[in-house]
Structure 1
Amino acid sequence: MAEGYPEAEAKPKAKKPRPLPPPPPPALATASLLVRGAAARVLGLSPGPCGGELQPIWVTEPGCSKITMSFEGTSREPFPKEDAHNALLIALEAETNRLAAGGRIAVFEMDKADAEKKYGEDIYEPKSQRPDRLRLAHLPGAALVEIPNNWSLCASTSDCGKIEFLAREVEAGSKKKPDTMIMAKKKQVFVKFSVGNPDAPAADIGGEMPSEDEAKALTDKSVRVEVLGVDVKDEAKEEPASKAAKSVTEEVKAEGEMVVDPWSVKGKIDYEKLIRDFGSTKISDDLLERIRKITVGSGRVSDLHCWLRRNIFFSHRELDAICALQEKGKPFYLYTGRGPSSAAMHLGHLLPFMFTQWLQKAFDVPLVIQMTDDEKFLWKGEYDPEKGDNLHVYKRFTIENAKDIIACGFDKKKTFIFSDLEYVGHMYPNIVRVWKAITYNTARGAFGFVGESNIGQSAFPAVQAVPSFPSSFNVPFKGDQHLPCLIPCAIDQDPYFRVTRDIAHKLVPKDHPLKGKPSLIHCKFFPPLTGAEGKMAASDENSAIFLTDTPEDIEKKITKYAFSGGRQTAKEQREKGADLDADVSYQWLRFFLDDDAELQKIEEQYGSGQGEDYWSAGQVKKKLIEVLKQMVKKHQEIRASITDEEVAEWMKVRELDF
């Protein structure tokens, strides 16, 4: 062969196509389609190919089979455990049989390219061998999927008979061979089902194709059955398609009514259960003593913050590692933030800044404060054809809220306050890295995005994540990329940073002391005036004390709206004492009354109904009014002296002292 021309490579031998497994009876094939459609609606799974791994046990057990589905991509990630499993099983069985109650199934063929263009790729398994022409099955309102070429389906879903999930009590993770649905850590589900009519007649090919709107709703999972007690979506913000899909499981409830996620906090909160569910760690007495030695022992503060002493900050992620670094003289930095949704902040908004100010002083470390004016516009912004949008309103809220934050007493030389709208260029390389590292399925599962979410909402979690990484602050931190980060926050914000911790190693040097993972310290919720469950909301003016309230406003709100745990009569109060867990005035004093001895006196006297100073609800409310008037007045006086020019100095990109 002439020089310069390579020898022809031997052609690889063509692989023989794998033979298709024996087809199931039409009733079983249809039953598997029903289960797939129900799983898409209840579990938030992409339907995928209904052929899946349908095991041919009908050979030995007529009318029975087993189907395996992957949980990857479920919109319920991280998947609920223990008690919540049963609610999902009940809902899945109910939804499967609701779909089986009657309806025509369409089976049709399309060129693969046309099907992808019209319906998207969720109609088949991306890893499977796809022919140029797809055979598709459509179950209206539930599934649009590819099926094997040798399958036949029933003409009607009712031909299947009743579908049963058998032996539901097998434990997740058991070594015993499962014969039921198991929601295990491996994210797989097994369903054994029997059908009533395995010999039902098959449908002819050529059924009616679905509309593009209906196909889209199926493939992006915007049509989904909500399961009460498992779903954590705020019903007030729920999308119309999701509301319409609640048909069968309104009565399905898991035990307990607690709901905690980044969007809503409802019910009576069980903090021990939250620690177990979130996988965080309780702050132990030993860890508190360790913090005391580092902070009080240094002489920077006189005692632990009362919120640590009273277990209000109760949970953490790797706070012990932060302490270990401090004990070796190595620094870290603090990160907290504020979404400026209004010009007036309330006491609940102020809490994280009050505690962060103590942390900064106690550990003598730098701090970055993110003002997410972009986030608030993405979720609450408006557009008027005559006036345009109102982005400028949120920019102004940032300045006004920054004044309240500065009034908390931070060290200006160690503190950088920044607006996302102004500073984003400095963070953008890390934002891109986070976008690259997190799949959309993960983001959708963690943050609840749906088809109607604007693309800015979908992109925003990366903007909130990147202040966790020191390279986002090359100027303030003088190029130090090894600084670990500690984030004080309420525990409902933990899901944001669990996702961040999973990919953190990709954004830091290999010798970063915590592999880039931000450490967290979690706070209990500050209850609204109107009741000790959930947390305070700015949308209900009577549930909150605002930093702009007058002394008269404070007295009126506490007197009229503060929910009392006292008894209905003085006689009953003297006999039984108050319910301190329900009493808002006592709970607020746990936050704002620094004197431990006086708080204990209130607890003993009010809780028992005995004593002279604090045995009644009126006396406890009077004490709270006194404390809040002093605190709010002091804050207002400091804030009044802070100008826009002063705020600009705090927000100037500059080197911090550390």
Structure 2
Amino acid sequence: MAAACSPAMSTALLLLQASICSTLGLASLPAIDNEATNTSMVGASTAGAPLVFGAPLALWNKAPGKSKLAVALGKKRVLCELPLHKDVPVQEVAAAVAATFNKHVRAGGPVFASRASRRQYEDEYGAVLGYNALTHDPYTKQREKDAKKKKKDADGNPLPPPPPHDRMQDELTVAHVPGVLFGAALGPVVSDLSQVGTIEFSTGAKDTCLTFGRAIDLTLTFQLSGFSDAPTASPDGALPPAADAIGAANPAGVAAASGRELAAKLAAERGGGGGGGAADADVDALAEGVEAVDVTPKEMVVNPWDVSGAIDYNKLIDKFGSSPLTPADLERLERIVRKKGKVDGLHRFIRRGIFFSHRDFLRIMDLAEQDKPFYLYTGRGPSSGSMHLGHLLPFMMTQWMQKAFDVPLVIQMTDDEKYLWKGEYMDGDDNLDHFRNLTMQNAKDIIACGFDKDKTFLFSDCEYVGTMYPNIVRIWKAVTYSTARSMFGFVGESNIGQSAFPAIQAAPSFPSSFPVVLGAGRDSEMACLIPCAIDQDPYFRMTRDVAHKLVGAKHPMGGKPSLFHSKFFPPLQGATGKMSSSDNNSAIFLDDTPELISSKIKTHAYSGGQETSKLQKEKGANLEVDVSYQWLTYFLESDDELKAIGDSYGSGQGDYWATGMVKDKLIELLQGIVAEHQSRKIHITDDEVREWMKERKLKF
């Protein structure tokens, strides 16, 4: 059987191979037999209709050098590999592969899947396509080793070697996206390519990488944890017709960020350089294909597992049915917090519209004015060892609110959620403990944000779920599966834990989930305020629908939690979607060094400035798309200083007229913020974290 692989990863592996074939004009990318020394098949064209989307590029017809494109699972299991001539611009080729891959992901497209026997697959499509390393049995090599060492079975008989050519599963999942890809996948696949997640080209110290998550030291590399495990397509249904499966050529298939220049470099490699006329024709064809690619997302996607596309926050308010924070709301909030005397005024996130939407926040202000009790609830799904700046936003806001309102706070660490969506069964074991360990590490980053320990309870779902269980059961009883399915997109292939999890995230919204911490029973009249990014809103829309069933009749809000929504912190590469833990170059992590912070911003921060100094001085920068300026709106405290920088950069005049000056300002600011955070975190021990996670009555 195949190694454990999430549906999104299984689909991505197949799409990555199709993208390599598409970019290089190959009919297929044959597997490398890890034990074979002859790699002459690499780059060979298969018989039959080719799976080609672009002009063929004979990059493989010279003596191979050290450059190569490879696809691998982990550090040892090479699935396919393509040696390239030493003069081939491998970085540009990799960038083209990434662009092709991302184009298909952003365009989306239904993924059709069926189950077929190996014999049926080979009879229909041929053995060459069938023998794909994605479908190899990873235990064959171990059985060969066991037989060679004359190991014995439980009855004392010598273990036989595996049958010849027994390197594929007997039953295959065959995935098909018309005009894009076709082949046997490693496991179940997602229902739409948009659920896979994009990849990014980056250059490391030693390798050229296409990275899914943190890079592994291989030329094309990715991790199983780099994807959200979205709903999968049904494996039922007949195999597609051969002609449709293989498909016709797509003239816009070679997608490369560097346009005609890259096309020229690629075409120049044909046949040892080729003649001038032929090379020019190839350049024109390739450049036309590049220019025809539309990489703009067709629609905005915002849900608890996926945020992509250009986000229109006004449309999100309409779509989700929340309310905008108006100037009158902000004036009232400022009066309330100034009267309480704990803070000097509104947080910059509120002043600048970074927190922009709400549900029932006006009722919370009513309670604050009347000195009636409420508490704060926020959380974190531990998916990486170190949090990044985007993760800090809800915690910085929550810390300010705890201080401003002088109220208790509960912080949920959803290690169970991350395991249900990203966990893996490998060799009879799983990595649940991995996510529990991440909880401990992330908790240190959270504590370093400056919360009041006497008023804060930080808890892991895996440890605290028993206390919340009565409320979880009540929520399960109150919410139908059809409601959960329509809200969260659950399908038959979703594991039952995923279907059950929304109730676990909903439970902390009710004070009775904390009988010791808040001293609350079912008749408690404490309201709940949840600062969070707006992609978490679906959980609490469900919660609000059934809230009246979990509280007493005197609860001031009928049990409904109040939501305080933030915008998404944009990635370095551009203001679409949100920053991701799985892309090291899209984010500044809280354990990054000053040198790495500087390098990331200088290298990856998307600029809204003009192409030349002359144009910049004439037209100024586009502040709406300039990432460095946008990040300053999040972290620069002084409104006057921010305005001065914006006026200068936007006009191309003054002290900050150029992109480099704005980047230098951001680098200096973030180096200071991260260094200060690190200086606080370094003193937080595991024992200290356990004290914060100890169930105890909070002081309020």
- Report TM bin, short chain: 0.5 to 0.7
Q: Say whether residues 1:285 and 2:327 are aligned partners.
A: yes
> Which residue pairs with 1:361 in the alignment?
403
Q: Secondary structure at the match of 1:241?
A: coil
Q: Say whether residues 1:351 and 2:343 are aligned partners.
A: no
TM-score by length of 1: 0.63
Q: Say whether residues 1:456 and 2:448 are aligned partners.
A: no
* Deviation sequence 1:172-208 (CA, Å, 0-9, x none): xxxxxxxxxxxxxxxxxxxxxxxxxxxxxxxxxxxxx
> Which residue pairs with 1:506 in the alignment?
549
Q: Map of 1:406-417 to 2, 5 A cutoff?
A: 406-417=447-458
> Which residue pairs with 2:482 in the alignment?
441
Distance 2:407 2:491 in 1: 40
Larger Cα Rg: Structure 1 or Structure 2? 1
Q: What is the CA distance between 1:385 and its match in structure 2?
A: 2.6
> Which residue pairs with 2:596 in the alignment?
553
Q: Say whether residues 1:565 and 2:608 are aligned partners.
A: yes
Distance 1:517 1:616, change over 3 A: same
* Deviation sequence 1:495-545 (CA, Å, 0-9, x none): 111011000000010110000000001101100011111100011100000
Distance 1:615 1:368, change over 3 A: same
Unmatched tracts of structure 2, length 5 or more = 1-109, 111-172, 174-187, 199-226, 246-294
Q: Map of 1:121-270 to 2, 5 A cutoff?
A: 237-238=229-230, 241=233, 257-270=299-312
Q: What is the CA distance between 1:238 and its match in structure 2?
A: 5.0
CA RMSD of aligned residues (A): 2.7
Amino acid at match of 2:393: L
TM-score by length of 2: 0.59
* Deviation sequence 1:148-174 (CA, Å, 0-9, x none): xxxxxxxxxxxxxxxxxxxxxxxxxxx
* Deviation sequence 1:402-448 (CA, Å, 0-9, x none): 11100000000000000111111100000000000001111111111
Which residue of 424, 441, 456 maps to 2:465? 424
Q: What is the CA distance between 1:383 and its match in structure 2?
A: 2.1
Identity of aligned residues (%): 63
Q: Say whether residues 1:539 and 2:582 are aligned partners.
A: yes
> Which residue pairs with 1:630 in the alignment?
672
Q: What is the CA distance between 1:257 and its match in structure 2?
A: 2.3
Q: Say whether residues 1:602 and 2:645 are aligned partners.
A: yes
Which deviates more, 295-304 or 577-586? 295-304
Distance 1:408 1:451, change over 3 A: same
Amino acid at match of 2:496: I
> Which residue pairs with 2:438 in the alignment?
397
* Deviation sequence 1:434-487 (CA, Å, 0-9, x none): 000001111111111111111111111100000000000010111252110000
Q: Map of 1:42-57 to 2, 5 A cutoff?
A: none
- Could you list the structure 1 runs, at least 4 aligned residues long, displaced by more than 4 angstroms after superposition: 222-226, 231-240, 242-248, 253-256
Distance 1:616 1:520, change over 3 A: same
Amino acid at match of 1:496: Y
> Which residue pairs with 1:486 in the alignment?
529
> Which residue pairs with 2:414 in the alignment?
372
Distance 1:624 1:254, change over 3 A: closer
Amino acid at match of 1:360: Q
Which residue of 490, 495, 516 maps to 2:559? 516
Q: Secondary structure at the match of 2:377?
A: strand
CA contact (8 A) 1:261 1:493 kept: yes
Distance 1:238 1:392, change over 3 A: closer
Q: What is the CA distance between 1:297 and its match in structure 2?
A: 2.3
Amino acid at match of 2:550: L
Amino acid at match of 1:517: K
Q: Map of 1:288-303 to 2, 5 A cutoff?
A: 288-303=330-345
CA contact (8 A) 1:232 1:261 kept: no
Amino acid at match of 2:383: S
> Which residue pairs with 1:309 in the alignment?
351
Distance 1:581 1:258, change over 3 A: same
Distance 2:408 2:297 in 1: 44
Amino acid at match of 2:541: R
Q: Say whether residues 1:321 and 2:335 are aligned partners.
A: no
Q: Secondary structure at the match of 1:316?
A: strand
Amino acid at match of 1:472: S
Distance 1:378 1:503 in 2: 24
> Which residue pairs with 1:470 in the alignment?
511
Amino acid at match of 2:362: D
Distance 1:511 1:233, change over 3 A: farther
Q: Secondary structure at the match of 2:621?
A: coil
Q: Give the number of equivalent residue pairs.
A: 432
Q: What is the CA distance between 1:277 and its match in structure 2?
A: 1.2
Q: Say whether residues 1:643 and 2:685 are aligned partners.
A: yes
Distance 1:500 1:507, change over 3 A: same
Unmatched tracts of structure 1, length 5 or more = 1-94, 96-212, 214-221
Q: What is the CA distance between 1:377 and its match in structure 2?
A: 1.2
